Structure 1
Amino acid sequence: MTVLKIAVAGASGRMGKMLVESIAEAQDTVLAGALDIPESAFLGSDAGATLGKPAGVLISSDFSIALADADYLIDFTRPEGTLKHLEYCAEHGIKMIIGTTGFDEAGKAAIAAAAEKTAIVFAPNMSVGVNVTLKLLEMAAKSFSHGYDIEIVEAHHRHKIDAPSGTALKMGEVIADTLGRDLNEVGVFSRVGVTGERDPSSIGFATIRGGDIVGDHTVLFAGIGERVEISHKSSSRVTYAHGSLRAARFLADKKTGLYDMYDVLGLN
């Protein structure tokens, strides 16, 4: 059995800890490195210490140390950090699984360029359930293309810094593409005051932030006399970790290329 040597970015964060734990529990993966920002209070500590399961890997902010033994880096940090990691990984042939959200067009272009040097899975949500939900939204959009208003509601914990979530935007993109629309033109991200009647071609977004909500997403197709709601609710970050490990396994025989979770799950 081939064992995948995986490093984790943001190893002391909420998602980082879940990844460290999931890597330790899987039979075909091993934690090969733990990366964090220079300001982290956990530098020099064991990546599994706060979980009560020492991993034998110390958290470092030095790329050359944290990634020295890694063939993969899983990154759920922030765009500015991920892009720095991306540059290093591309130059050293380290494959990446990127779950970071909030990239601008330049950031997305940098990821595409790096994929010419190493293999990357880049997706706004690594959950298997979310990606199956996206496929269901394609099917629904085809049937509800006329006479139905489309609204996307998402809720996350109080610490999330970008809005709408990357998953909500991906849902909007999937629906807009299916309907032959451009989300940049039809997306409505705020409603205040006298807004006038709803444009039937628009796709609305509503954002909720509070408490420790891991991630809830609902797409509403509202017609006359009926409405259909397609929802996905995360109760634990473990679903993102398990999806990330599936992505790493998918990349095992890939040297270069940019992929998403549809590729990983065979949904294309």
Structure 2
Amino acid sequence: MNQTPLRLLIHGASGRMGQALLRLAAEHADTMKVVGAYTGRAPAQRVVDGIPHFAAKELHGAPPFDVAIDFSLPEGFDAILALCVERGAGLVSGTTGISQAQRDALDAAAKAIPLVWASNFSLGVAVLDELVERAAQALAGWDCDIVEAHHTRKLDAPSGTALTLGAAAGRGGATPQYASLRAGDIVGEHLVQFTGLGERIELVHRATNRDIFARGALFAARQLAERAPGSYRVRDLLNG
């Protein structure tokens, strides 16, 4: 039996993540279809590789969609969240730098639609998040250190992923300390270390290709389409 492709709206399509999403979604045309790609500025072409392109200011007239994937800027976040609530569609967002008011709006929207906001959509990091929380629970009193490394162009430190892993450690009862390294073209490496007397545990994730984040967002979109309203973590979606 043929399955109707998942209708995706890509918000922030001109960015690095947006371009990766468009490219990778095209590899799965049998299960997903991008019905609209939205950019901050008016697009130079209205149709690219069969996908309609629009300016962000045209968002109110978006074609029907099942899930929006948003990797834009905080200034554009309110509009895509409001549209998803209005349409009853799911939202996958990796937009960083959102305000507390926008986080509160996410919480309110989760009562009406399924959504996931994450600082990192790597499925490996989602598993690492769970392992860190479990290790912290089991190793009460051990030191917890998080060391992250990224390319020289990354300005924020610690990284959003390091802080997310630190929150997982905190839920388990640990008090994490952070260290950051900026060097070369490192995509992203995160080490979470638990140290006790005479022994040490290291949990490590290394990203070698940025496509993993786009693949994770597409995975989240597929899973979210089947979910009831609520706020989900990527790790919540791993078991289908």
Q: How far apart are residue 46 of structure 1 and its match? A: 6.0
Q: How far apart are residue 255 of structure 1 and its match? A: 5.2
Match of 2:39 among 21, 31, 36: 36
Structure 1: distance between partners of 2:154 and 2:232: 25
Where do residues 51-90 of structure 1 align in structure 2 (5 Å cutoff)? 54-61=49-56, 62-65=58-61, 67-90=62-85
Structure 1: distance between partners of 2:220 and 2:47: 22
Structure 2: distance between partners of 1:208 and 1:31: 37
234-243 or 3-12: bigger deviation: 234-243
User: What does residue 133 of structure 2 align with?
Assistant: 138
Structure 2: distance between partners of 1:90 and 1:161: 33
Q: Structure 1 vs Structure 2: percent identity of aligned residues? A: 39
Would the aligned equivalents of 2:13 and 2:19 in 1 still touch at CA under 8 Å? yes
Q: Which runs of 5+ in 1 are unaligned?
A: 49-53, 182-201
Query: 1:257–1:165: structure 2 CA closer, same or farther, 3 Å change rule?
Result: same
The 3-state SS of whatever aligns with 1:44 is coil
RMSD of the alignment, in Å? 2.3
Match of 1:91 among 86, 92, 102: 86
Structure 2: distance between partners of 1:89 and 1:125: 21
242-251 or 208-217: bigger deviation: 208-217
1:161-200 per-residue CA deviation (whole Å, 9 max, x = no partner) reads: 5432221111111111111x6xxxxxxxxxxxxxxxxxxx
Structure 1: distance between partners of 2:10 and 2:184: 25
The number of aligned residues is 236
The 3-state SS of whatever aligns with 1:219 is strand
Would the aligned equivalents of 2:118 and 2:234 in 1 still touch at CA under 8 Å? yes
1:110-139 per-residue CA deviation (whole Å, 9 max, x = no partner) reads: 101112232212222221111111111122
Match of 1:168 among 162, 171, 181: 162
Q: How far apart are residue 210 of structure 1 and its match? A: 4.4
The 3-state SS of whatever aligns with 1:82 is helix
User: What does residue 237 of structure 1 align with?
Assistant: 210
Query: 1:80–1:60: structure 2 CA closer, same or farther, 3 Å change rule?
Result: closer
Structure 1: distance between partners of 2:137 and 2:182: 31
Query: 1:114–1:158: structure 2 CA closer, same or farther, 3 Å change rule?
Result: farther
User: What does residue 149 of structure 2 align with?
Assistant: 155
29-38 or 209-218: bigger deviation: 209-218
Of Structure 1 and Structure 2, which has the larger fraction of its residues in strand?
2
Q: How far apart are residue 90 of structure 1 and its match? A: 1.6
Structure 2: distance between partners of 1:111 and 1:151: 30
Would the aligned equivalents of 1:101 and 1:124 in 2 still touch at CA under 8 Å? yes
Q: TM-score, normalised by structure 2?
A: 0.87
User: What does residue 3 of structure 1 align with?
Assistant: 5
1:253 aligns with 2:226: yes
Q: How far apart are residue 243 of structure 1 and its match? A: 1.6
Query: 1:28–1:212: structure 2 CA closer, same or farther, 3 Å change rule?
Result: same
User: What does residue 118 of structure 2 align with?
Assistant: 123
Q: Aligned letter for 2:151?
A: H
225-234 or 5-14: bigger deviation: 225-234
Structure 2: distance between partners of 1:81 and 1:209: 29
1:48-70 per-residue CA deviation (whole Å, 9 max, x = no partner) reads: 5xxxxx243224222134x3232
Q: TM-score, normalised by structure 1?
A: 0.79
Q: Aligned letter for 2:38?
A: L
Q: Which runs of 5+ in 2 are unaligned?
A: none
